[in-house]
Structure 1
Amino acid sequence: MAGNRDHVWVREAPSTVDAEYVQESATVPLRPGQKIAHLFNLNESQEYVLQRVTERTYWFQRDHYACTFYVGEDGVLLFDPLHERGQYILEAIKRVTDRPVKAIVLSHDHYDHIGDADVVLRAMGEIGVHPRLIASEATARKQLFRGTSQPHATEVVAWPHSRFQFEDLHVEFHGFARAAHTDDHSAQLLVEEKVLHAADHTNPDEPPFWKFSANENFLYFEPNLRETEELDWVYENGGHGNVGSHADRDFYHQYIADMVEAVRRAMDHIGFRDGVKGVEGINSHTAYHTTWTDLVARTAVDALRPKYGQYYGFEYGTWSNAEQVVWAQFAYTK
């Protein structure tokens, strides 16, 4: 889609999985394993990116945030009404169908992913449509606990696992009893479409984003990945990054293994007081922990750079991933 942003195209990072890239298309579905070409530049130069994934499922992205929508016979099912992107999502939907949004799914209670629910609800209300607003028990409870001003779910499904139906499509909620990202984090499987909507779970065709997609707890991250890998899907929307496949998960597991090993090696030869050697005036033991963590993490990043340094966002995000692993290894070493 043409946009009016002032952007000078840059050379993009190579694929982490040797992907086959195709031009963005709102009409031609992707074949398994294909990804959208020039995705970073498209995000920087267009109003949004719209890709048809299957006959009925579409992948939308603006400013590197992605959501999924499914076009049924009578209406549209939207997964995650992204903050500050609701109007663009509605415009994208209108490009492919004149059917209204009849249901909205909230994957988890993070404002950046669900913050424009009111925008979509208001737009539908203006034409006399009142969509179902579907969330898990965990998300509904969390919103009540926080006293959110966001619209509350009209339909609450069981936690951690449940299923609902939208026209002929069956959708499975897969929550994580021990969630890495946030305590109400879940993924949704569009069963007949074989599409997994898993916001903030992975960043396909990239190394893991900052803090493994802003995870609150690294300890549970890889077990969460294993859970969703057991599901029957071909395409994944991780909320950021490109359209995903199981090959992206293989890359993630190798990256995690290499990161854990690099951190362990660094911990073996960096002493707890090494970060403050030569520094005078230390009057708090906090200095030992923070400087040691930083030193171990950055040593691990240096060790990983020859293998991963060419990939998307390495210099900006890998140190935060390393810090999470340092803490997990420090606290939970077997």
Structure 2
Amino acid sequence: MGVEDSRSFYGIDHYGFPRAGADDPVDPEGYYPPYFRSEHFQRYGYHVEELRGGFHWVTSAGYDAAFVVTEQGVVVIDAPPTLGENMLAAIEDVTDQPVTHVIYSHWHTDHIGAASVFGPDVEIVAHRITKELLERFPDPKRPVPTTTFDDELVLEVGGEILQLSYKGENHCPGNIFVYAPRQKVLTAVDIVSPGSVTFMHCDASQNISGWYEAQSQILAYDFDFFVGGHHMHYGTYEQVKLCVEYFADVLEGATAAVERFSRSDALADIVADTGWDRMFVGTENWINSMANHTTRHVLEKKTSDGRLWWERLAGATTQTKYHAYTVLESIRLERPRPDYRLRGENPPVFLT
């Protein structure tokens, strides 16, 4: 079956998602840093940079990780498969010290799926929940942690200190904060991505209320550098604040959308043309109406410096609709409802 045949067979021209293309604005100026076009990056596919005091950031320009060089060895934070053995190459670029510790930010394979490259003798540190999940769903490329904690753990190696904290489920259960106080570097993965709006559906996060709470928790730290797990950049405090501002606008728009389109009159207007025997079509139109309202609110709203979001953060025009859907669903599922139906009142609109 050829490409055109498969398009017709699967109904791509009618069902599913439209193809994004050249109609979307280009990414903001400065989103692609100088290393992205460097000879080294184009040839080897990774970039390593010292942020401060032996704390290094490593990126594949899609995923990133970090390591700290100490007097007694190297402490690695995460091991994305997109970096893979390039993590070893990046470490060898700056030190002859062996890797002694690996910290898992969380259990997802896209961030730690190459941890086996460090061999069987390293100490692997993670939250207790991460260990439980990896024992339940074993993967030889993600060795089970050897040291775990519940709330707080101070890891001291070769005179360097890393403060590990678990503040509750956010992106997923067991996702932790890693803070280097001397270097003022904070690592918190899959919460915000400096320079962009994160991948769709809020980085596929599981607890959106907790994920929003994590944004405030991030800003409570005293950091100069931020490692978020994705995209082209490490971040500064101000760049992280910009991402938080964007998602505040998403929440604002989604809250207004849920309130507006949950009224009986609005529901009746949306589903009026679908008929009682097309309930899922009516439901899709209802959800899409809320998502579209939210998306328009975000993308047409002037930001704090007067520009639009697509002029400040990469991905705004393609990803906002997915964030809108995810956030409005979290409002409906995780946050208090204004009221409930009284006995005998307000029959479902698809029956009227």
TM-score, normalized by the shorter chain, greater than 0.5: yes
* Percent identity of paired positions between Structure 1 and Structure 2: 20
1:13-56: CA deviation from partner (whole Å, max 9, x where unpaired): 1469xxxxxxxxxxxxxxxxxxx824665698451122111130
CA separation in 2, counterparts of 1:274 and 1:101? 62
CA separation in 1, counterparts of 2:158 and 2:243? 35
Query: Which residue does the alignment assign to 1:119?
Result: 117
Change (3 A) 1:261 1:231: closer
Report matched runs for 1:1-334 at 5 Å: 12-14=27-29, 37-38=33-34, 45=42, 47-121=45-119, 130-149=121-140, 150-156=142-148, 158-177=149-168, 179-241=169-231, 242-270=233-261, 271-279=266-274, 283=277, 285-306=279-300, 307-310=308-311, 311-331=313-333, 332-333=335-336
CA separation in 2, counterparts of 1:87 and 1:283? 55
Q: Is the 8 A contact 1:14 1:312 kept in 2?
A: no
1:246-300: CA deviation from partner (whole Å, max 9, x where unpaired): 21232233222322222233334442355544335x5354443333112211222
Secondary structure at the aligned position of 2:85 is classed as helix
Larger radius of gyration: 2
CA separation in 2, counterparts of 1:38 and 1:207? 21
Q: Is the 8 A contact 2:27 2:315 kept in 1?
A: no
Q: Is the 8 A contact 1:12 1:40 kept in 2?
A: no
Deviation at 1:144?
Answer: 1.8
Secondary structure at the aligned position of 1:297 is classed as helix
Deviation at 1:206?
Answer: 1.7
Q: Is the 8 A contact 1:218 1:325 kept in 2?
A: yes
CA separation in 1, counterparts of 2:144 and 2:104? 10
Decide which moves more: 240-249 or 166-175: 240-249
Q: Is the 8 A contact 2:46 2:83 kept in 1?
A: no
Deviation at 1:208?
Answer: 3.6
Q: What letter matches 1:315 in structure 2? A: T
Q: What letter matches 1:106 in structure 2? A: Y
Q: Is the 8 A contact 1:12 1:38 kept in 2?
A: no
Q: Is the 8 A contact 1:273 1:288 kept in 2?
A: no
CA separation in 2, counterparts of 1:330 and 1:50? 42
Gaps of 5+ in 2: 1-24, 301-307, 339-352
Decide which moves more: 263-272 or 94-103: 263-272
CA separation in 2, counterparts of 1:255 and 1:326? 15
Q: What letter matches 2:285 in structure 1? A: T
CA separation in 2, counterparts of 1:119 and 1:274? 57
Decide which moves more: 141-150 or 59-68: 141-150
Gaps of 5+ in 1: 1-9, 17-35, 123-129
Moved over 6 A (4+): none
Alpha-carbon RMSD across the aligned residues, in angstroms, is: 2.6
Change (3 A) 1:325 1:12: closer
CA separation in 1, counterparts of 2:119 and 2:298? 46
CA separation in 2, counterparts of 1:11 and 1:314? 10
CA separation in 2, counterparts of 1:304 and 1:202? 17
Decide which moves more: 184-193 or 208-217: 208-217
Q: What letter matches 1:168 in structure 2? A: G
Q: Is the 8 A contact 2:27 2:310 kept in 1?
A: no
Q: Is the 8 A contact 1:272 1:289 kept in 2?
A: no
- TM-score after normalising by structure 2: 0.76
Q: Is the 8 A contact 1:57 1:70 kept in 2?
A: yes
Deviation at 1:184?
Answer: 1.1
Deviation at 1:223?
Answer: 1.4
Deviation at 1:69?
Answer: 0.6
1:139-163: CA deviation from partner (whole Å, max 9, x where unpaired): 112212334443111222x212222
Secondary structure at the aligned position of 1:90 is classed as helix
- TM-score after normalising by structure 1: 0.80
Q: Is the 8 A contact 2:191 2:228 kept in 1?
A: yes
CA separation in 1, counterparts of 2:166 and 2:286? 35
